[in-house]
Structure 1
Amino acid sequence: MSSTRHRLIQLLVDTAEKDAYISGQQLSDQLGISRTAVWKHMKDLEHDGFGVKAVPNKGYRIEQFPNTLSVNAIQWGLTTKWLGQSIIHKQTTTSTQFTAHEAAQSDAKHGTVVVANEQTAGRGRLNRKWQSTKDKGIWMSIILRPKILPHLAPQLTLLTACAIAKVLRTDTSVDAQIKWPNDILINGKKVVGILTEMQAEQDQIQYVIVGIGINVNHTDEDLNDPLTERATSLYQETGLTWSLVQIIHRILDVFEDMYEIYLKQGFKPIKILWEQHAYRMNQLIRVTTHHHSEDVQFCGIADDGALLIEQAGDVRKIYSAEIDWDEKQDVAAAHEYGPPTVNEASD
């Protein structure tokens, strides 16, 4: 988004909050553009679904907000300082991850967000298919350029899960739980997948891309594929239709706050929050390593993101194993978790 459009939207936000109007001349003066250019910007907003009211001798005000995604719709009312200040929007793309990689390699700045109405080749860990129904969910990738060592990058997956779980719990009142390392479940069914990929040198990260897929307004018909029998949506769980834009706003707000806490205080506060929302925390799970199975207690995560298990008072980390969370869940391979790279990721 251009700086002029960004400033225009901010002026209109401020005006709407005051329940007032702002004249075309005031917008022209403050933005340093012509009255004709102001009019064209307002028409662009109308095209994106904004209800723009123009009153002679008073000016403009926004009275209706769009229900569909666009750069303007997402930028409207976004209160973050750096996250999402640059937005790339696609009506349709193969994958927001692919688009984000292209942007990152073309020097897209830290905090750039890629959003699509539809993905035709959405993917998760190990290139598993992610069903991305048009206009029903949030398909989004965040470009980060963190000044942390590459081996700490998996912590960003866990941080993202915490941010989303917090938003779902506080804003939709669902009991969102994080299934190690990166799925979010409601009533044992997957509603969110997180895909983290990284481009790095030995001791320096060039960029990290955090991909987020959320089933929001999917109906039973949208999720009737056998591949999605363990999936759910916010609509299915609450019976309510949710604004994609408002959920994106909240996720970006909470993610930015948590990210800054992480940079200042390290991983400890994130670890505490993650464990508070962890699926089957302090319960028995079955772990299989080298053809040997044992029932152990899941007791948390280590600072490097590894699974912590306890048996007979002995706590140890798990990096490589098959985990049977319960009789209803698919077996998950713990060895799929590790430092994210361009070709190895977590969904």
Structure 2
Amino acid sequence: MKEGFLRHAVTDGTTIDQHILEIFRATPGEVVSGEELSSKLKISRTAVWKHIRNLKTLGYRIESVPSVGYRLVAAPDLLLPEEISAGLVTERIGRQIVAFNETASTNETAFKMAEEGAPEGTVVIAESQSRGKGRMGRRWESPSGVNLYCSIILRPPILPLQAVQMTFLSAVAVARGVEETTRLSPTIKWPNDVLLSGRKVAGLLNEMGAETEKVNFIILGIGVNINMEQNQFPADLRHPATSLRIESGRPVDRVDFARVLLRELDTLYASYLAGGYGAVRDEWLARCAMIGRRVHVDYRDSAVAGLATGIDEYGALLLTLDDGRVERVLAGDVKLA
């Protein structure tokens, strides 16, 4: 794998390292003998020692008790597949997780993996990005070890024109994740921002590999500001941006948030495949702070203002203009008028 590769895991517990962690978690704080690990894993005591050493290299604090065994003291503050997968029960999303210390862009990495045949639901996650991408070619600030940067590969049986629906599905999943982990009340801003107190806490960037009438795959790119402090934001972002930590007043467990997000994505995606876009659209509208309000949209050299009344099946924002006409807005920066 490319430079920065950290870890790969399948979340059904198929790796030996995952099995070892599962055994430790079954008896938290207790010493587990090397003999017990060897017996349960059907490997030699020497192999057990090598896997324990590998986990320590990843940052797990494992105490070796002479002539007795091993005790898991603490897990590292890293978005490791072994940690995210613990207790994660999903149908599609997160069955395979690939993690990086740093990558140029999780979307770029996931796109390449999708082209090479990676299965639906594969998650690419990174501690930092050197070329994080935002909407309309903007840069997404990606400092290490404080936020969540991930991309998910989906292969929905839809037309390319419907692909934008996945953006709204992602936004709803992020909003649900914020609610569950912080008890805060996020809102959604068209087309792809999640807000807290009117400030951006998460952004979405979905990309597609498609033919004329067929979607081959969609990459759900998700960036969530989790534990950034105010002074960590670039000066030009300090007013419009925020983090879960700033808004909640406490650190937020990044692994727990990632696990909740993947579960909500999986639930929403299953509902979408079974029943279509309607339920996702309804929840998105209920969470959108600008529906029913007058907004101003800037796009390149043009601008339009009107009453935001909804979105259509292709993701366009519907504006009722002053003369009564309804305008479909496909792209732009939206502000309350």
Query: Normalising by the residue count of structure 2, what TM-score does the alignment of the two structures yield?
Result: 0.85
Aligned match of 1:258: 268
3-state DSSP of counterpart to 2:171? helix
Aligned counterpart for 1:124 among listed residues 113, 122, 134: 134
Q: 8 Å contact 1:12–1:22 — kept in the other structure?
A: no
Aligned match of 1:9: 18
Moved more, 38-47 or 14-23: 14-23
Rounded Cα–Cα distance in structure 1 between residues aligned with 2:231 and 2:167: 30
Aligned counterpart for 1:203 among listed residues 213, 216, 240: 213
In the superposition, relative to structure 1, how do residues 80 and 66 fare at CA in structure 2: closer, same or farther (>3 Å)? farther
Q: 8 Å contact 1:6–1:75 — kept in the other structure?
A: no
Structure 2: any 5+ residue segments left out of the alignment? 1-7
Structure 1: any 5+ residue segments left out of the alignment? 328-347
**Is 1:244 the equivalent of 2:260?**
no
Rounded Cα–Cα distance in structure 1 between residues aligned with 2:303 and 2:80: 51
In the superposition, relative to structure 1, how do residues 275 and 115 fare at CA in structure 2: closer, same or farther (>3 Å)? same
Aligned match of 1:185: 195
Rounded Cα–Cα distance in structure 2 between residues aligned with 1:146 and 1:282: 31
Aligned counterpart for 2:77 among listed residues 30, 49, 67: 67
Rounded Cα–Cα distance in structure 2 between residues aligned with 1:201 and 1:110: 18
Residue 187 of structure 1 aligns to which amino acid in structure 2? S
Query: Normalising by the residue count of structure 1, what TM-score does the alignment of the two structures yield?
Result: 0.83
In the superposition, relative to structure 1, how do residues 14 and 38 fare at CA in structure 2: closer, same or farther (>3 Å)? closer
Aligned match of 2:293: 283
1:37-186 alignment, distance < 5 Å: 37-53=47-63, 62-186=72-196
Give a deviation string over 1:183-237, Cα, whole Å, max 9, x none. 1111111110100000111122221111111111111211142145311111221
In the superposition, relative to structure 1, how do residues 317 and 34 fare at CA in structure 2: closer, same or farther (>3 Å)? farther
Rounded Cα–Cα distance in structure 2 between residues aligned with 1:293 and 1:2: 48
Rounded Cα–Cα distance in structure 2 between residues aligned with 1:292 and 1:94: 33
Per the TM alignment, residue 172 of structure 1 is displaced from its structure 2 partner at its CA by 0.7
Q: 8 Å contact 1:83–1:113 — kept in the other structure?
A: yes
What do you get for the CA RMSD once the two structures are aligned? 3.0
Q: 8 Å contact 1:15–1:22 — kept in the other structure?
A: yes
Aligned match of 2:3: none
Rounded Cα–Cα distance in structure 2 between residues aligned with 1:321 and 1:90: 32
Residue identity (%): 34
Aligned counterpart for 2:306 among listed residues 295, 300, 305: 295
Aligned counterpart for 1:215 among listed residues 202, 225, 245: 225
Residue 88 of structure 1 aligns to which amino acid in structure 2? V
| Matched length | 326
Per the TM alignment, residue 166 of structure 1 is displaced from its structure 2 partner at its CA by 0.7
Moved more, 224-233 or 315-324: 315-324
Rounded Cα–Cα distance in structure 2 between residues aligned with 1:8 and 1:324: 47
Moved more, 205-214 or 18-27: 18-27
Per the TM alignment, residue 310 of structure 1 is displaced from its structure 2 partner at its CA by 4.1
